[in-house]
């Protein structure tokens, strides 16, 4: 199999503060998860650089909030163009640092350009309103203003996509932003920032830092100049950051973990459901917050569905994401491989059966086989903790009420999926499942123009659709006597 040849260079990543790329005290290595080779380094910010970033963001906010929405929109569309025209180089760097197949990295990069464009258009639609007054001569106006300086924290699973949603919405609203990118996959974020810099973004509007996550978040969240916190990551860390934001009365958006039920009824097109769900399950080696993770299949169809699903999973080409044809790469880091081993061992100890995979293959890199477990008891950890990896546990159910109860059993509610041929069943599921997003009879979540967010312990706020702008705007009411 041929490796992808052009432009395999991987650059070290610096901090971007006040319009300049700069170094700091320490660096940490960046590892290619497919080879375990060190491919570069990333600079870590200390307090001094973080304070510089806040000052730069203050300067940037003063300029950007006064820049007309029309101009902000134009500049953002140029940034989108820059991302699109550099997509191949960005995708190669993303695959090298994160491990996902090149085809997925290309799609993520092109989707990032779409996201910037969507928010560029939303920038021009931050309307206010006029409220009829009780007294003559009084005008009552509601305006929407940018909330201020944003501190955003984004993870390594979608290095570009997680960052671009926050950056684009904040910039569209007129905010400046300090992005704390993922230390394990820093180059993709740096490429995003460069696209905005080259589009002419004023200094200090978009700053990029890396560091020790807990140190950076405790410094920035507590900083009086920072007005808004946005975090994507685990529920555990989200709760911590949300409580810190609360202590300082900061607005917060929390995009946290889920454990998406994927419900399949016997009247569904089983081969199609199995094929689509397997593609969704093993995308990015399962390291996706909206990945289908609890496969709940009607008892009389369970065996047939499992056969189709196992066949689709077995057919996946796994390997280094730079190799053409590879459909599943390694996990992003060694922690995830260890977590997979623990989850499989625990499920087997609870009486589950291994229908496919279950092991770390004999090769370099953080690989884990596409894994299918059947007959998994609800007490097994994998039915309670988001696996965030290539494990699909399948369990059977008998009635619609029973499966809705199982879907809602956990304290999280981000995404849910269901396949059925009956309109009444689909209506019941869309009404009764406690989840921020539900996709029925296809896989249709995550577009820039559609809401993206969870309920319960999956967090609050939306990162897609018109709702996404809300997080970066505050309301001002002006009442004026002529
Ligand atoms: P982790 O929980 O330590 O880190 C998750 C993310 O949060 C990382 O980006 C990390 O840099 C950040 N983080 C951790 N502590 C922080 C702090 N005090 N302040 C600011 N940021 C902080 O663990 P991990 O091993 O990287 O990932 C483990 C779990 O995290 C996964 O199993 C998954 O459930 C979740 N996760 C979710 C997403 C998502 O898209 N929702 C992405 C990555 C990881």
Please confirm, yes or no, whether 108 is among the known catalytic residues.
no
Q: How far is the CA of 188 from the centre of ligand 1 (A)?
A: 17
Q: What are phi and psi of 304, to 5 degrees?
A: -65, -45
Cβ count near 371 (within 10 Å): 25
15-256+459-481 CATH, one of 3.40.50.300, 3.40.50.720, 3.40.605.10, 3.40.50.2300: 3.40.605.10
Query: Can you tell me the distance from the alpha carbon of 231 to that of 456, in angstroms, rounded to the nearest whole number?
Result: 16
**Beta strands 226-232; 251-255: pairing state:** parallel
pLDDT of residue 3: 44
pLDDT of residue 441: 98
Query: Can you tell me the distance from the alpha carbon of 172 to that of 285, in angstroms, rounded to the nearest whole number?
Result: 32
Cβ count near 396 (within 10 Å): 20
Q: Is the CB of 386 under 6 A from ligand 1?
A: yes
Q: What does the domain layout of the chain look like in residue ranges?
A: 15-256+459-481, 260-447
Give the residue, by CA position, lying nearest to ligand 1 atom 40: 289
The residue written with tokens 């081969």 in the block is 271
Give the residue, by CA position, lying nearest to ligand 1 atom 21: 213
Domain 260-447 has CATH 1.10.540.10: no
Six-digit token pair at 418? Answer: 């269901």
Q: How far is the CA of 245 from the centre of ligand 1 (A)?
A: 17
Q: Is the CB of 289 under 6 A from ligand 1?
A: yes
Q: Is the CB of 335 under 6 A from ligand 1?
A: yes
Q: Is the CB of 186 under 6 A from ligand 1?
A: no
Please confirm, yes or no, whether 255 is among the known catalytic residues.
yes
Q: Is the CB of 413 under 6 A from ligand 1?
A: no
The catalytically annotated residue of 49, 97, 255, 463 is 255
Q: What are phi and psi of 445, to 5 degrees?
A: -110, 155
Q: Is the CB of 95 under 6 A from ligand 1?
A: no
Pocket test for ligand 1, best of 154, 155, 286, 334 (most atoms within 8 A of CB): 155
pLDDT in tens, the chain (482 residues): 344 444 468 999 999 999 999 998 799 999 999 999 999 999 999 999 999 999 999 999 999 999 999 999 999 999 999 999 999 999 999 999 999 999 999 999 999 999 999 999 999 999 999 999 999 999 999 999 999 999 999 999 999 999 999 999 999 999 999 999 999 999 999 999 999 999 999 999 999 999 999 999 999 999 999 999 999 999 999 999 999 999 999 999 999 999 999 999 999 999 999 999 999 999 999 999 999 999 999 999 999 999 999 999 999 999 999 999 999 999 999 999 999 999 999 999 999 999 999 999 999 999 999 999 999 999 999 999 999 999 999 999 999 999 999 999 999 999 999 999 999 999 999 999 999 999 999 999 999 999 999 999 999 999 999 999 999 999 999 999 98
Which residues does 246 contact at the CB level (< 8 Å), separation at least 6?
Answer: 252
Six-digit token pair at 95? Answer: 């695959």
Query: Can you tell me the distance from the alpha carbon of 138 to that of 314, in angstroms, rounded to the nearest whole number?
Result: 70
């Amino acid at each position: 199999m041929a490796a992808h040849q052009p432009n395999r260079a991987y650059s070290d990543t610096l901090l971007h503060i006040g319009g300049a790329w700069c170094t700091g005290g320490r660096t940490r290595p960046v590892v290619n998860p497919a080879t375990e080779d060190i491919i570069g380094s990333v600079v870590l910010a200390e307090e001094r650089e973080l304070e510089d970033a806040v000052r730069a963001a203050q300067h940037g906010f003063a300029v950007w909030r006064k820049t007309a929405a029309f101009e902000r929109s134009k500049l953002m569309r140029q940034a989108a163009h820059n991302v699109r025209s550099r997509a191949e180089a960005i995708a190669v760097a993303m695959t090298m640092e994160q491990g996902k197949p090149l085809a997925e990295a290309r799609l993520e990069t092109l989707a990032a350009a779409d996201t910037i464009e969507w928010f560029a258009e939303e920038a021009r639609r931050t309307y206010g309103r006029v409220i009829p007054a009780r007294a003559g001569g009084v005008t009552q106006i509601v305006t929407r203003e940018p909330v201020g300086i944003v501190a955003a924290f984004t993870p390594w699973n979608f290095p570009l996509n997680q960052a671009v949603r926050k950056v684009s919405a904040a910039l569209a609203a007129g905010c400046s932003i300090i992005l704390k990118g993922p230390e394990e996959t820093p180059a993709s974020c740096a490429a995003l920032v460069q696209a905005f810099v080259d589009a002419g973004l004023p200094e200090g509007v978009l700053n990029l830092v890396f560091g020790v996550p807990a140190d950076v978040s405790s410094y920035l969240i507590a900083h009086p100049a920072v007005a808004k916190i946005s975090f994507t990551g685990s529920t555990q860390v989200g709760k911590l950051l949300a409580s810190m934001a609360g202590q300082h009365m900061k607005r917060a958006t929390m995009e946290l973990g889920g454990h998406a039920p994927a419900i399949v009824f016997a009247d569904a097109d089983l081969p199609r459901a199995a094929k689509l769900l397997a593609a969704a399950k093993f995308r990015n080696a399962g390291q996706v917050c909206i990945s289908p993770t609890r496969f709940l299949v009607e008892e009389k169809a369970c065996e047939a569905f499992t056969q189709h699903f196992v066949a689709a999973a077995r057919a996946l080409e796994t390997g280094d994401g730079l190799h053409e044809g590879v459909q599943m790469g390694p996990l992003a880091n060694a922690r995830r491989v260890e977590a997979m081993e623990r989850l499989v061992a625990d499920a087997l100890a609870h009486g589950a059966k291994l229908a496919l995979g279950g092991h770390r293959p004999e090769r370099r890199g953080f690989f884990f086989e596409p894994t299918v477990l059947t007959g998994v008891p609800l007490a097994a950890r994998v039915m309670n903790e988001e696996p965030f990896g290539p494990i699909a546990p399948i369990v059977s159910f008998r009635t619609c009420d029973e499966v809705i109860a199982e879907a809602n059993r956990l304290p999280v509610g981000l995404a849910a999926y269901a396949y059925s041929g009956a309109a009444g069943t689909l209506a019941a599921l869309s009404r009764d499942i406690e989840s921020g997003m539900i996709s029925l009879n296809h896989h249709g979540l995550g577009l820039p123009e559609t809401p993206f967010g969870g309920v319960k312990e999956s967090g609050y706020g939306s990162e897609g659709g018109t709702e996404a702008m809300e997080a970066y705007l505050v309301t001002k009411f002006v009442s004026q006597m002529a």
